[in-house]
A and B are shown apart, each in its own frame.
Chain A
Amino acid sequence: MVSLNAVLVISFLLFSIGIAGVLIRRNALIILMCVELMLNAANLNFIAFARHSGSASGQAFALLVMGFAAAEVAVGLALVVALYRRRDTVQVDDINLLKG
């Protein structure tokens, strides 16, 4: 059987990699992918705790999170495409309208 600690450690590492990607990369697409990775790490925890408590609520909620992630990706990618049309770049360093 899988121990709860193993799941927690794996999901913690996935979440950390996601945070590192968001902070370090400068390509907007890759930042979006890292956000997805963090949502998946949370999902992994939901499922592990659902399994631990023996109820299906966590799994149902993980399904809701999955739908939410899909909606977020659709809007985020539309934003990236609109940005590319307007400014011809997807590098977040080049987008400094608020810099003053």
Chain B
Amino acid sequence: MEHFIETIGRNMFAIFGVLALVGALIMIGARSAIHSVLGFLFAMLNIAGCFLALEAEFLGVAQILVYAGGIVVLFLFVVMLVEMSKKHEGEVFQLQSRYAVLAVAGGVALFLGVFRKAIFGAPSPESLVLRPELAKGLDVAHQNAQAVSRGLFADYLLPFEILSVILLVALVGAVVLAKTERV
């Protein structure tokens, strides 16, 4: 039993990753949009689990808050608003689906070419461990939030500020796009 739990603990990332893939497949395969959103939610929660398994605790929690708490609810509201339409998808996949499948297969083949060594080659000898000489006196694994904040507010302050402007523009744009004409 202890051995079993230990094995699960070691393979946490693979478990969450496979579950995220399952959620993503449900998302693109489901017939109704609500089921798609639920698959999306499942995939996002499992990606958050992947982040936790990679010891990015702050990002894992932020992922749950932003996606499961914000974006999925937004999607659900819009699905509720929009799915009352008379027109429904006749079939789930597009008519030009043959070409789409061909394009996807070509893209996957290209990616496989890039990742050939990573997938089929020998497994990388070094696993994802912190290289202490790069951590600069800060323990990224044990002070995750501090490390991220140092990156965000010291090294990447300008992108952070630009992102705040982008968010403001998106806010104004969303209000302008979604408001009714008579205002």
A74 contact from B20, B111, B148, B170, Cβ within 8 A: B170
B56 touches A17 (CB 8 A): no
B interface, CB within 8 angstroms of A: 13-14, 17-18, 20-21, 24-25, 27-28, 33, 36-37, 40, 43-44, 47, 50-51, 53-56, 58-59, 62-63, 66-67, 70-71, 74-75, 78-79, 81-82, 85-87, 89, 92-95, 97, 100-101, 103-104, 107-108, 111, 115, 118-119, 123-124, 126-136, 138, 140, 144, 147-148, 150-152, 155-156, 159-160, 163, 166-167, 169-171, 173-175, 177-178, 180
> Are A84 and B81 in contact, with the CB atoms below 8 A?
yes
Q: Tell me the complex Cα distance, A13–B19, Å.
A: 12
In A45-68, the 8 Å CB interface with B consists of: 47-48, 50-57, 59-64, 66-68
Indicate the size class of the contact surface on chain A.
35 or more
Least distance between A54 CB and chain B CB atoms (Å) = 4
Choose one: A3, A14, A55; the contact of B21 (CB below 8 Å).
A14
